[in-house]
Structure 1
Amino acid sequence: MDTLLQAAKCMILSICPRLRQNAISLSFCHECSQERPLVMMMSYKGVIEMKDGIPKKAMGINLVLYNYTHPSSEACNVFNSFMASSFAINLPVITEKEAKKLFKKHSNLTLISASSFKSTGFSKGKHRVVEKPCISLLCLHKGFIPLGEEEFPKQINGFDVDVQEGYCSFGTGRSIDFGGHIRRARGINTPGNGSIGGFVDLSDGLVGLITCAHVVFSSDELLIPNSEMHNFVLGKGTDLNVEFFDKNQHNFQVCGTIVNKCFPLSSKNNSVDAALIKLDPTVNEFEFPVTDQLYSAGFDPNKSPIFTGEVVNVPDPDPVFKVISKITDKSDSVVKYGSKTRFTIGNLYFNGAHIRFVDDTGNLPDNTVAVMCNQIEIQSLPHGTFFEPGDSGAFVFCINPDKTLSCLGMAIGSTTKGSCFVTPMTRILILLVFLIY
Structure 2
Amino acid sequence: MYCANNNPLSTESSRKIEKIIDKYSMELMHNHTYLSVISASPVVSKHYGTSNYKTESVSCIALYVIVKHFIPINEEPFPQMLDGIPVDVREGGVQFCGASAEDFYDQVRMGCKITSKFQPQKHGTLGGFVEHPDYGLCACAHVVLNDKLKFALKEKMKVKEKEMEPCALFQPSYDTQEQNQIGRLVEVTYKEGGNGKPGIDLALLKIDKRPPSEGTFPDIQGTTTRIRYDSGKVWGKEGVQPNQQQV
Structure having the larger proportion of residues in strand: 1
Which structure is richer in relative contact order (CA contacts within 8 A, separation 6 or more)? 1
**Shared fold per TM-score greater than 0.5:** no
Larger Rg, first or second structure (1 or 2): 2
Structure having the larger proportion of residues in helix: 1
TM-score by length of 1: 0.27
